[in-house]
Structure 1
Amino acid sequence: MAGINKLELSETDIISKFILPAIKSSGWDDMTQIREEVKLRDGKVIVRGQMAVRKTVKSADIVLYHKPNLPLAVIEAKSNKHSIGKGMQQALDYAGLLEVPFVFSSNGDGFIFHDKTSTTTLETEISLADFPTPAELWDKYCQWKGYTQAQLPVITQDYHDDGSGKSPRYYQLQAINKTIEAISRGQDRILLVMATGTGKTYTAFQIIWRLWKAREKKRILFLADRNILVDQTRVNDFQPFGTAMTKIEGRTVDPAFEIHLGLYQALTGPEEHQKAFKQVAPDFFDLIVIDECHRGSAAEDSAWREILEYFHSATQVGLTATPKETEEVSNSYYFGDPLYTYTLKQGIEDGFLAPYKVVRIDIDVDLQGWRPTKGQTDKHGELIDDRIYNQKDFDRSLVIDERTELVAQTITSYLQRTDPMAKTIVFCNDIDHAERMRRALINCNPEQVKKNEKYVMKITGDDELGKAQLDNFINPKKPYPVIVTTSELMTTGVDAQTCKLIVLDQNIKSMTKFKQIIGRGTRINDKYGKLWFTILDFKKATELFADERFDGIPERIMTVTPSQINEGSDELDELVDGESGAELDTTDGADLPSTSENNRDFDLGSNTADDIGVSERAKKYHVKGVPVEVMAQRIQYYDTDGKLVTESFQDYTRKNFTKQFASLDEFTKRWNDTERKQTIIDELANAGIIWEALQEEIGSDMDPFDLICHVVYDKPPLTRRERANEVRKRNYFTKYSDTAQKVLNALLDKYADAGVEEIESLNVLKVKPLDQLGSPMEIVKEGFGSKKDYHQAISDLENEIYWAPPPKQA
């Protein structure tokens, strides 16, 4: 373009004046194939204390698509001051997320083209006029993927677009596209592993929609094992199927519908007449999607597996956050290795899932144990077996009232210090424990319960009133109930978007169960301020975070025979958590039995052996009058490598700040050279420095500059007031007019009270005492002459505030 000096153009100008015209002139459609500023990640949430901040993330400058569901290329732009290939590494990162083979970097002079499909030269330089056409890249892409003509109608079928602008996230798109590709190649068993809260059901909907619309699959069955899962799916993600969809009820499969949502329990049972799935031919369904497939369908001898084997000719897709791999139960044995995996760690790093802090609480009786005196009976007159009872026994074989009360008091104290209305789930060992905990929490919160008797509720399988409140608990718009006690009913399938506190007073050894429980808190809801959650751990359950299986590849972990299952064994914890004991977990939440003999809310992680018919139920003793107290409390945070760390925010700041600035000199120079200090303050906040948390630890009368100098570089702290007094001692203001001196003196007071951010906005002239000098423009004109001169005076004032005497010569 004649007359334009590229070197003076911004990155945005380079894109609009050079890059986009080059792309469009090669035939790319502006409306459907070109997207600018594509945000692939959300900002990771950093948590310290009761504060959190989102780190900002960059967006891909341009993504090119064959169709909206098929990204082909990423283009990263830089201003002309940079080299043509400056943006390549950044573009390759985005291309890796989207799994696209074509990557471009440009500064407006031309393109560096990185072509992963090339068998010779990976990167070449091309002119603006030689940008590839859509047909050229699509043909290369199809060859790279190995698509056949028969696959293309399915591969290119659009995903559902509801017009709201919502589209699959990058990892959902990968899972959808990989599944569609695999099915189009004839693969008939597929496993998708996606962490809780990452949208498994939405992903499943898009897979089904595309296959159904392409008429590749005409009759589809979506299988789940709890009513709430089916009902949430039907009214939310699957709603676009409309009248083509039905929920299987009354043990009747209606062939008039194409999309069937069903409970295992509605399709089968122990008696032959209950096997409703046999009403239709084995080839009736083309596609079966199994939600939470780590549970019943994973076991070979499961009655639920019988459904899948009956419809063996159908393509079957398993969804889970926790694939199960034991010698007895295996997802991968049936479905094959996961086709796609998106972990909790990835979700937190990308900012799609909430990080957590862990408060581990040690109770003296848990650590030291308790032994009855000789001949001691419990409150019911039962002679207590003489042995040492420890943490694993409490609330299973021995109940200590004072321990229950202490746990309830600790929970209440935490909520009172933070947010008494924070949605909270307390996981107990069984229904009896959940009921006692409910009562203890009610007694600890009389004022809240007086406001609303549903402040604390027990939601377990035996309690119809409690189960009826489940929808209210998970609805962000409903304030009550606030605290719920449970044992198993809420471990899975509960989309509690605003749950901010998870309490673990349950012995958990099963990794599957632990992952599911943690998943109740991992959803983010920006609208309601839910960015992170806290885990109060009374039973050392969070030690499982250190297990490599927590966020790694599941491995076969045990071989169990009936002779190895002993009452109170850890092995039983693993065995019965929805694995070999999965048949126990078949009952939907609306139909759970309330038998007094098991007193269970499908507490499959318990080590009471009679739950799987191994032996008679152990006795549970109940004692009162045992002194109990908290011995220690430790707070840990999720760190960048997915580990829990115990560190102050000072430690975190020190570690992360040096990634931004290598030395004190570099930081000081940048601070002094930057016209608006707020720019640096915002940059550091976006990098995860939570100023409020730092001020809370160190002191609120220092500004960000001094906080950094003190915390990171161990400099003696200076308060804002001390800096302001030093400026006045130097008689700095004498060069200004009387009006200007009044303004600058008032601004210096503002700085001392509130910080440098306060004086950098013209709005400060609208508040007392400055507003008494006139309007902002009158003050600027009378005191400084012009707006430019005013801003220069502010810049000079800041230089004085942060002036430091030169070091003394040796």
Structure 2
Amino acid sequence: MDSKEKKKLSESDICDLFITPAINKAGWEPMTQIRREVTLTPGPVVVRGNMSSRNKKKKKFADYVLSWEPGVPVAVVEAKDNNHIVSHGIQQALGYAEILDVPSALSSNGDAFASHNKAPAAGENIETEFPLESFPTPQDLWKRYKSYRGIEDEAEKLVVQPYHLDVSGKEPRYYQVEAINRAVEAVAGGKKRVLLVMATGTGKTYTTFQIIWRLWKAGEVKRILFLADRNILIDQTLVNDFKPFGSVMTKIKNRKIDPSYEIYLGLYQAITGPDEEDKIFKYVSRDFFDMIVIDECHRGSAADDSAWREILEYFNNAVQLGLTATPKETKYVSSSTYFGEPVYTYSLKQGIEDGFLAPYKVVRIDIDKDIEGWTPPPGMTDDLGQEIEHREYNQKDMDRILVLNQRTKLVARRIMKYLNATDPFSKTIVFCEDIDHAERMRVALVNAAGQLALDNPKYIMRITGDSVEGKAELDNFIDPEIKFPVIATTSELLTTGVDAKTCKLIVLDKTITSMTSFKQIIGRGTRIDEENNKWFFTIMDFKKATELFRDPDFDGEAVVIYEPGDDDDPVPPDPEPGEGDDEGDGGVDETPGVYKVRVSGVDVNIISERVEYIGPDGNLITESYKDFSRKQIRKEFTSLDDFLKRWNNAAKKQALIDELEEHGIVLDNLATEIGKDYSDFDLICHIAWGQPPLTRKERANKVKKRNYFTKYGEQARAVLTALLDKYADEGIATLESAKVLRLDPFKTIGTPVEIINTIFGGKEKYESAIQELEQELFKKEESA
């Protein structure tokens, strides 16, 4: 093929005719080692107001990912058409190679290959070019990968042990692959203590399952103990991610470890306790378990004097894998000190940027008595007739020491106002200071909800450690298929381990100074659930807790802080074992014996509200959807004239609209704010350049009044008039789709084929008539 012909080929043609054959010829297996068009990240969700959309422009998409074995990627190849130079795609390939942490990034335009090698041998160049027929063999790139990752030859068998293949076709995400491979490589290299830090909602349990599966299938470990501190964590794991282990798996019950199984799931509290007879883990030998997985290892298991730590030290020859979203790092507790540095970290910020985790908007609400303080008049008594200490009470005192009943009612009304304005059946968690506060909030919410609470008594439930009824509803609360309960009031029980995928509102009426607790609470909302239209969540903050977002440590590296913690972050006490099957699901999280001042007659008001969103740099900003859209449109089009030129020259206007949507601009969202009757064209011109907008109906009527139709026959005029009416009702997409001709009133004129071929004289002339109709609709003088 000559060079002129080659330059006419699409990128896809270049792949099919030149790049793929060259890779195949080098010995790469098409079915197992070569993956084409691999989506690494879907692109972040943008939220403004009550609207959200994906920014598909930031989607990460690799043309080729080459793997030594499935799940063990070693190289990335970026393809370009022949109008680009050979190395044009190298920088893009390097970005993908960094995501996958592989040493080989290659680029091709169909003439040759360019290569960037992150692990060059002595004397080798980092970047080279070579002909198509010289593409590296799998053995060459595998050797380079082993060198780059520090994998010794004797560890290779374990490193390439296959993943468990899901019958549904589910594949691990790129960061899960990296976490799995890093953990397996660490064990293969002889490491006994391994720490994974992965944000809530990123699939830690699924990742853990694959690690265990590969080590177990390879014979590296035979008996494995998975430890958690909440019953719900164990039960979810049994029936979901660990299900493929089948009959070799058991849950430790009745204070007995049955030696006939291989995979054991248990509560810390079920196998240990304060008394020697409670420590049933000592009934088996120290080498009974080959591997112990510690879920949520930021909690008490990290403390040197924790009873849980005793289990780890008893089985100190076993491989110990710690999992956490928030490594605990204080003077008293450090998971990193015990496990060492994490072998892999995937943060909340990265998850949101990639588009795997839901972004949040923050509604900060200030209440006068919190901000300005409240001092009771001398001699004032509380609701029980006791004199109130004459001092100033502030935000930290609210619901801990001082209970202003009007404040509780005000918070409840504001929560219901938000839900009624968005979706009153959005799953909501309200975090309170303690159980007493959670119960009073439940009562206030029931009264504020009115008919909603009357229609279903489980619309609002208190789910706390001491409430048998509330805890019984926990499974229903987190099940996306079960409508009630909708609102859960709590204090501590729902902070961790509760997989509430559809949670759309988190309310903070709780003083939070512990970064670990804050991250765990925020984690309740971070899951995206596309099936249930959950793309983002809202944090309603009454206690300035979200100031912690501004702390550089919020998503920074964990460091051990050798200073005393504050009263909100004490040394975690050893949990007391519970009774029966409820042990470990939380006790009464309220300090007994603390007298609270309760006052009913004090007026309380909201003095300010502010809504903030995640900006492009990951920091919170105050910006409306209109402001965001204006910036994005002006990035895409340099001026109004530039937009008008591209709009008028576009054969399909919908293509421009789709392009804007890739930037996160959904015009339907803008129409909700500006007006649903305006055309897409007018919305864009109005938002970006302040042009006065016309409705679709106004534009259609202006066209009808002109002599534009006279050049067409009677039937063609009838079709074009009907198309104008369809545009006025539904917009540009309807106008540009031939499917509209199957609908009324076109069916009375003829079939789509008859209309296009007989009335307009063929497809080309029909499309030309549509384009001319659009030019009439969007004449420049009409948009000024």
Do Structure 1 and Structure 2 share a fold, with TM-score over 0.5?
Answer: yes
2:274 paired residue among 249, 270, 274: 270
Q: Residue 271 of structure 1: CA displacement?
A: 1.1
Q: Residue 4 of structure 1: CA displacement?
A: 10
Structure 1: tracts of 5 or more residues without a match: 562-570, 595-599, 604-610
Q: Residue 534 of structure 1: CA displacement?
A: 1.0
> 1:226 touches 1:587 (CA, 8 Å); kept in 2?
no
> 2:435 touches 2:589 (CA, 8 Å); kept in 1?
no
2:549 paired residue among 529, 539, 545: 545
> 1:318 touches 1:335 (CA, 8 Å); kept in 2?
yes
| Aligned-partner Cα distance in 2 for 1:755–1:52 | 21
2:173 counterpart residue number: 169
| Aligned-partner Cα distance in 1 for 2:208–2:585 | 31
Where 2:384 maps in the other structure, the secondary structure is coil
1:352 counterpart residue number: 356
> 1:49 touches 1:693 (CA, 8 Å); kept in 2?
no
2:582 paired residue among 582, 590, 613: 590
Cα separation, partners in 2 of 1:619 and 1:558, compared to 1, 3 Å: farther
1:31 counterpart residue number: 31
| Aligned-partner Cα distance in 2 for 1:300–1:524 | 36
Cα separation, partners in 2 of 1:591 and 1:220, compared to 1, 3 Å: closer
> 1:462 touches 1:593 (CA, 8 Å); kept in 2?
no
1:660 counterpart residue number: 636
Q: What letter corresponds to residue 187 of structure 1 in structure 2? A: K
**1:268-295 CA distance string (max 9 Å, x none):** 1111111112112223222211111110
| Aligned-partner Cα distance in 2 for 1:327–1:38 | 44
CA RMSD across the alignment: 2.4
> 2:427 touches 2:503 (CA, 8 Å); kept in 1?
yes
Where 1:282 maps in the other structure, the secondary structure is coil
2:110 counterpart residue number: 108
Cα separation, partners in 2 of 1:299 and 1:94, compared to 1, 3 Å: same
Q: Is 1:672 matched up with 2:662?
A: no
> 1:461 touches 1:590 (CA, 8 Å); kept in 2?
no
> 1:43 touches 1:350 (CA, 8 Å); kept in 2?
yes
Q: Residue 242 of structure 1: CA displacement?
A: 1.8
> 1:225 touches 1:586 (CA, 8 Å); kept in 2?
no
Q: Is 1:701 matched up with 2:701?
A: no
Cα separation, partners in 2 of 1:587 and 1:300, compared to 1, 3 Å: farther
Q: Is 1:513 matched up with 2:517?
A: yes
1:615-626 equivalence runs, <5 A: 617-626=593-602
2:389 counterpart residue number: 385
Q: Residue 99 of structure 1: CA displacement?
A: 1.2
| Aligned-partner Cα distance in 1 for 2:71–2:359 | 30
2:18 counterpart residue number: 18
1:485-504 equivalence runs, <5 A: 485-504=489-508
Q: What letter corresponds to residue 35 of structure 1 in structure 2? A: R
Q: Residue 665 of structure 1: CA displacement?
A: 3.6
> 1:377 touches 1:383 (CA, 8 Å); kept in 2?
yes
1:123 paired residue among 82, 107, 127: 127
Cα separation, partners in 2 of 1:397 and 1:144, compared to 1, 3 Å: closer
Q: Residue 500 of structure 1: CA displacement?
A: 0.9
Where 1:659 maps in the other structure, the secondary structure is helix
1:41-440 equivalence runs, <5 A: 41-56=41-56, 57-119=59-121, 120-440=124-444
**1:431-476 CA distance string (max 9 Å, x none):** 1111111112122223223332211111111111111111111111
> 2:691 touches 2:783 (CA, 8 Å); kept in 1?
no
| Aligned-partner Cα distance in 1 for 2:779–2:385 | 78
Where 1:5 maps in the other structure, the secondary structure is helix
Where 2:395 maps in the other structure, the secondary structure is coil
Which shifted more, 512-521 or 451-460? 451-460
> 2:194 touches 2:321 (CA, 8 Å); kept in 1?
yes
> 1:176 touches 1:203 (CA, 8 Å); kept in 2?
yes
| Aligned-partner Cα distance in 2 for 1:661–1:70 | 42
| Aligned-partner Cα distance in 2 for 1:250–1:241 | 22
Q: Residue 688 of structure 1: CA displacement?
A: 0.4
2:661 counterpart residue number: 685
| Aligned-partner Cα distance in 2 for 1:65–1:306 | 41
> 1:511 touches 1:544 (CA, 8 Å); kept in 2?
yes
Counting matched residue pairs gives 779
1:567 counterpart residue number: none
Where 1:385 maps in the other structure, the secondary structure is coil
Q: Residue 70 of structure 1: CA displacement?
A: 0.8
**1:204-236 CA distance string (max 9 Å, x none):** 111111111111122222111111111111221
Q: Is 1:572 matched up with 2:567?
A: yes
Q: What letter corresponds to residue 14 of structure 1 in structure 2? A: I
**1:751-773 CA distance string (max 9 Å, x none):** 34433222111233334444432
> 1:409 touches 1:441 (CA, 8 Å); kept in 2?
yes
Q: Residue 584 of structure 1: CA displacement?
A: 4.9
Q: Residue 163 of structure 1: CA displacement?
A: 2.4
Cα separation, partners in 2 of 1:4 and 1:247, compared to 1, 3 Å: farther
Cα separation, partners in 2 of 1:471 and 1:652, compared to 1, 3 Å: same
| Aligned-partner Cα distance in 2 for 1:270–1:30 | 58
Q: Residue 44 of structure 1: CA displacement?
A: 1.4
| Aligned-partner Cα distance in 2 for 1:723–1:807 | 10
1:478 counterpart residue number: 482
1:602 paired residue among 583, 589, 601: 589
2:740 counterpart residue number: 764
> 1:296 touches 1:585 (CA, 8 Å); kept in 2?
no
Q: What letter corresponds to residue 742 of structure 1 in structure 2? A: A
Which shifted more, 66-75 or 692-701? 692-701
> 2:365 touches 2:542 (CA, 8 Å); kept in 1?
yes
Q: What letter corresponds to residue 275 of structure 1 in structure 2? A: K
Q: Residue 428 of structure 1: CA displacement?
A: 0.9
> 2:7 touches 2:82 (CA, 8 Å); kept in 1?
yes
> 1:354 touches 1:523 (CA, 8 Å); kept in 2?
yes
Cα separation, partners in 2 of 1:807 and 1:601, compared to 1, 3 Å: closer
Q: What letter corresponds to residue 233 of structure 1 in structure 2? A: T
Structure 2: tracts of 5 or more residues without a match: none
**1:79-108 CA distance string (max 9 Å, x none):** 233333332222222111111122222222
| Aligned-partner Cα distance in 2 for 1:132–1:81 | 24
Where 1:19 maps in the other structure, the secondary structure is helix
Where 2:476 maps in the other structure, the secondary structure is helix
Q: Residue 585 of structure 1: CA displacement?
A: 8.2
Which shifted more, 704-713 or 393-402? 704-713
> 2:231 touches 2:584 (CA, 8 Å); kept in 1?
no
| Aligned-partner Cα distance in 2 for 1:337–1:554 | 9
> 1:549 touches 1:555 (CA, 8 Å); kept in 2?
no
2:460 paired residue among 456, 465, 469: 456
> 1:356 touches 1:637 (CA, 8 Å); kept in 2?
yes
Q: Residue 381 of structure 1: CA displacement?
A: 2.5
Cα separation, partners in 2 of 1:670 and 1:58, compared to 1, 3 Å: farther
| Aligned-partner Cα distance in 2 for 1:357–1:716 | 30
| Aligned-partner Cα distance in 2 for 1:629–1:143 | 64
> 2:692 touches 2:783 (CA, 8 Å); kept in 1?
no
> 1:462 touches 1:592 (CA, 8 Å); kept in 2?
no
2:445 paired residue among 434, 441, 444: 441
Q: Normalization by structure 1: what TM-score?
A: 0.92
Which shifted more, 454-463 or 782-791? 782-791
Cα separation, partners in 2 of 1:458 and 1:502, compared to 1, 3 Å: same
Cα separation, partners in 2 of 1:268 and 1:352, compared to 1, 3 Å: same
Q: Percent identity at matched positions?
A: 57
